[in-house]
Amino acid sequence: MTYDAILLTSFGGPEGPDEVMPYLERVTAGRGVPRERLEEVSHHYLALGGVSPINEQNRALLAAMRERFPERGIDLPIYWGNRNSAPFFADVVKEMYDNGHRRVLAWVTSAYSSYSGCRQYRENLYQALADNDLVGKMVIDKVRHYFDHPGFLQPVIEDLEDKLQAMVKDGLDYSEIDVMFATHSIPDAMGETSGPPALRETFEKPGGAYEAQHLAAAEIVMNKVHSDLGVSSVSWQLVYQSRSGSPQIPWLEPDVNDAIRDIHASGKKGVIVVPIGFVSDHVEVIWDLDNEAQETASELGMYFARVTTPGSSLAFTDGIADLILERVNGAAAQALSPLGPWPSQCVAGCCPNLRRELKVIAEASAE
């Protein structure tokens, strides 16, 4: 397929105290999140000066992509747009069109299947086209999910090995350490409906494809770590964090803090948290893990460490280039789990909007 531009597509975040509440209101619009929950979360941002690290991290990744991609044979301009903060999708779509671009390939800073991590971006990008009267005049396609791509997982593997060895050097045995792979919790209903309709019944509920993809990524990481370190006794589990919805709606569990208390009760002495659901160290990582989860472990007298996210590392930047080349010149798709490579296009009904159906970009037939 021929494309004339690439769009780094992300979530966004506030860049000053005055932006925090308007940002949170945009993020949670129509979802029934109690006002007191928004105020609670706003304090997390305000504790960091009202600035989310995500935008600066995206600027670093954008710079890395612009530097590395020509060396990989990708000579396309790269733009950056956000769902919930400037640069907003509508503004960037207009800029791309005004600059002469008509076929754009979007790469999203979300590696997994879910409504909020995939379909909502496709809805938002369609709306950006509609807002600019560009439906039918500009095409935006989307890169596939990459939860099991080696470029996404290699930085995680390397840092987890370092963190495990450091904890053992401090006097713990590998069997006394639990590795927790943490990701953003989502409502059970969103988990159950994640992924293509034809595959939905093959996944355990309520986590669905969303949970299955995370478990696949975690298993890849742990198999490599066990092999590299020559051990097999490190326990691991998938945990969830950052719940933000109505307390009456069930969300995926266990919460990371509850899980830390449980392993302490079972005799574990150390916990290493791997933010496998995130590509960079934004607020959900820095506050919910580096602050709250670490505090829970500290109160219990446990060793605690947190593994880095892929960020703008060379391995991850090259992984993104691999994904782009799959679509640009038909390069072979790389995947390390039996679930992959994930389909290059989402089908109708994939990760549905459970409140109302909206038009989307980049959708294939369900047949």
pLDDT at 367: 46
The residue ranking higher by pLDDT, 341 or 34, is 341
- Whether residue 366 is predicted with pLDDT greater than 70 in this model: the reply is no
Separation CA 322–CA 344 (nearest Å): 13
Round the CA-based radius of gyration of the chain to a whole number and report it.
20
C-alpha separations of 162 from 97, 158, 206, 269, 364 in Å: 46, 6, 33, 18, 42
- Whether residue 365 is predicted with pLDDT greater than 80 in this model: the reply is no
Residue 121, marked binder:
yes
Nearest to 7 by CA among 95, 84, 85, 136: 95
* pLDDT tens digits, one per residue of 200-230: 999 999 999 999 999 999 999 999 999 999 9
Mean pLDDT of 298-307: 98
Mean pLDDT of 178-192: 98
* pLDDT tens digits, one per residue of 269-283: 999 999 999 999 999
75-84, 163-172, 238-247, 294-303: the lowest-pLDDT one: 238-247
Buried/exposed 285-309: b ≥16 CB within 10 Å, e otherwise? bbbbbeebbbebbeebebbbbbbbb
* pLDDT tens digits, one per residue of 121-163: 999 999 999 999 999 999 999 999 999 999 999 999 999 999 9
* pLDDT tens digits, one per residue of 96-126: 999 999 999 999 999 999 999 999 999 999 9
How much of the chain exceeds pLDDT 90, in percent? 92
Q: 191: how many CB neighbours lie within 10 A of its CB?
A: 26
Residue 184, marked binder:
yes
**Global confidence as pTM:** 0.96
How much of the chain exceeds pLDDT 70, in percent? 99
Domains and CATH numbers, the chain: 5-146+313-364 (3.40.50.1400), 150-306 (3.40.50.1400)
